[in-house]
Structure 1
Amino acid sequence: MVGFVLSFSLILLAVSAVHTGGFAAIAEEQQEEQIHNTERAMSVLAENFHDIERGNAPTRAGEFRLSGGALSLDRTARFTVSVGLDNGTFAETVRTGSLSYTKDETEISYENGAVLRTNDDYGFVSRPPSVTCRDGKSIISLVEIDPRGNVTSTSVDGSVLVTVAKQDSDIYYPRRENGTVVNEADMAQNVTIRVEESRHEKAWERWFAERDGWKQTAAGYRCEADTVFVRTTKVTVRILP
């Protein structure tokens, strides 16, 4: 009888441990898969932005499932691009803004052409921006988000529609004024990108640190290039519940 009671107790303890630990592991796995799905959905939206940036389409729209999180638009993120010349520096600061999904301690954002994911203090870039530094040439493409509509943040259940429309595009460097070329692309000596403000600053720092050609300086991330092109694309973004 004593042996039966002990055996039965051990079985109950084992079942209870499996039940508790198993369900916790399943819930954790489901949450992680949900975050991965959201990250993939943000990458799909980023491709829509990229299509507009390349001039392949004037507008794009995509569905975004919130899954208990919140989607928001803001104009916080700012970047400065400085082109070093023989006779000085040409600099421009752009408030790129961002489209961000937040849930618990995780934030996934489209910001300046990239998809970034931050958990607490750890961040990384899951889809790179349109920024290159190779063989003495650098091409930098900035994407500026202009939030429109009455809804700039939503946490409703289900899905929302995100629409993207091109406003305009411009070349920051080399510049023209009144039809006259002010500077040439191959007059540059270097180009520097500075992250002025971003909730994903560590993710940007990690990405630039892992890229060939970019060196961190006091002024930002520098590429030694004698041919530089800097362009910007401004888009209108709406969240439709």
Structure 2
Amino acid sequence: MKRSEHTSGYFSRDNRGVSEVIAFVLVFGIILSSVALLSMTGFQAMEDYQENEQLQNAERAMDALAENYNDVLQHSAIEERYAELSLREGTVSTGSDGTELTITIERSDGTSDIVKHDFDIGGDNTDSFSLGEFAYTTGSDTIAYDGGAVVRESEYGSAVVRQPHLKCSDDRAIISLVTIDTDERSIQSSDGLGFTMSVENRTAELYDEDIEDVRITVDSPTAETAWEDHILDRGNWDDGTCEDIEEVLVTVVEVSVDY
């Protein structure tokens, strides 16, 4: 009887020891899993934060660049502007293709004029002004200087960071655009890069005879939604049309970009 009780005590202590080891292993495994999960979540959150911060910095930088470059629209004596961008592993692309705007004057007698035909800018056999390309891309997001505007496009939608110089008042429309005519080129870097904008052509036309409306239509591979939803349908513009006006002033400045 005593021997039986003595053996049972050994078994009890052995079982308790095994249980403690199993409990320790389980707790340790849970701790390791939790640490791994938190690490993965933390790293992902940090990456998302850094990416968002990079995009916000790029927006601010492109907006500042646009404010500098748009001086060529407001001051005819300015022939050149210089600005810098910190690329931070992003890519800058420039070229002569991009958003195309067609500006049509509607007259009270039922006739219409295509404004591009009066401008010696871009190709002769076209009805549209090509705004060219000056875009910063990181991941799936693109921030572009587009005719004086700054637009942002991503897989989730579009936004306008800076409005272009388009004005529709009670009796007058003013349309001022910057078009880029430069070589197709792109560069990726982690450093800052300087860009020089030079005026190649500046033309202004005033339309003030039998004017009724002016209409702007857009065709863009990347920024069409931004223009249609956030630019050409705000203020007094109604789906790209400025109605019941007496005159239209159109100014187009053609520039090149070197870097």
TM-score band (shorter)?
0.7 to 0.9
C-alpha distance in 2 between matches for 1:142 and 1:193: 12
1:84 to 106, 123, 135: 106
Q: Which residue of 2 aligns with 1:141?
A: 176
Q: Which residue of 1 aligns with 2:84?
A: 63
Q: Which residue of 2 aligns with 1:201?
A: 224
Q: Partner of 2:42: helix, strand, or coil?
A: helix
Q: Partner of 2:216: helix, strand, or coil?
A: strand
Query: 1:104 is aligned with what amino acid?
Result: G
Change (3 A) 1:130 1:225: farther
Q: Deviations over 1:43-69 (max 9, x none)?
A: 111112211211163211111121112
Higher helix share: 2
C-alpha distance in 2 between matches for 1:134 and 1:198: 30
Structure 1: tracts of 5 or more residues without a match: 175-183
Q: Deviations over 1:160-216 (max 9, x none)?
A: 211112223211333xxxxxxxxx2x6321110111334211111111365132223
The aligned runs of 1:67-146 (5 Å cut-off) are 67-76=88-97, 77-87=99-109, 88-91=111-114, 92=116, 93-120=128-155, 122-146=157-181
Task: Give 1:121 shift.
Answer: 5.8
The aligned runs of 1:162-177 (5 Å cut-off) are 162-174=195-207
Q: How many residues are matched? A: 223
Q: Partner of 1:12: helix, strand, or coil?
A: helix
Larger displacement relative to structure 2 (85-94 or 123-132)? 85-94
Q: Partner of 2:145: helix, strand, or coil?
A: strand
**Highest CA radius of gyration, 1 or 2?**
2
Larger displacement relative to structure 2 (23-32 or 68-77)? 68-77
Higher strand share: 1
Query: 1:204 is aligned with what amino acid?
Result: W
What percentage of aligned pairs have identical amino acids?
30
Runs of 4+ in 1 over 6 A off after TM superposition: none
Task: Give 1:109 shift.
Answer: 0.6
Task: Give 1:101 shift.
Answer: 1.1
1:14 and 2:34 correspond: yes
Q: Which residue of 2 aligns with 1:160?
A: 193
Q: Is the 8 A contact 2:163 2:231 kept in 1?
A: no
Q: Is the 8 A contact 2:85 2:193 kept in 1?
A: yes
Q: Which residue of 1 aligns with 2:242?
A: 223
C-alpha distance in 2 between matches for 1:75 and 1:198: 13
Q: Which residue of 1 aligns with 2:74?
A: 54
Query: 2:196 is aligned with what amino acid?
Result: T
Change (3 A) 1:225 1:152: farther
Q: Which residue of 1 aligns with 2:57?
A: 37
Q: Partner of 1:42: helix, strand, or coil?
A: helix
Structure 2: tracts of 5 or more residues without a match: 1-19, 117-127
C-alpha distance in 1 between matches for 2:83 and 2:225: 28
Q: Partner of 1:157: helix, strand, or coil?
A: coil
- C-alpha RMSD over aligned residues: 2.0
Q: Deviations over 1:5-45 (max 9, x none)?
A: 44433333322221110111001100111011111111111
Q: Deviations over 1:108-140 (max 9, x none)?
A: 110111101110261121111001123232111
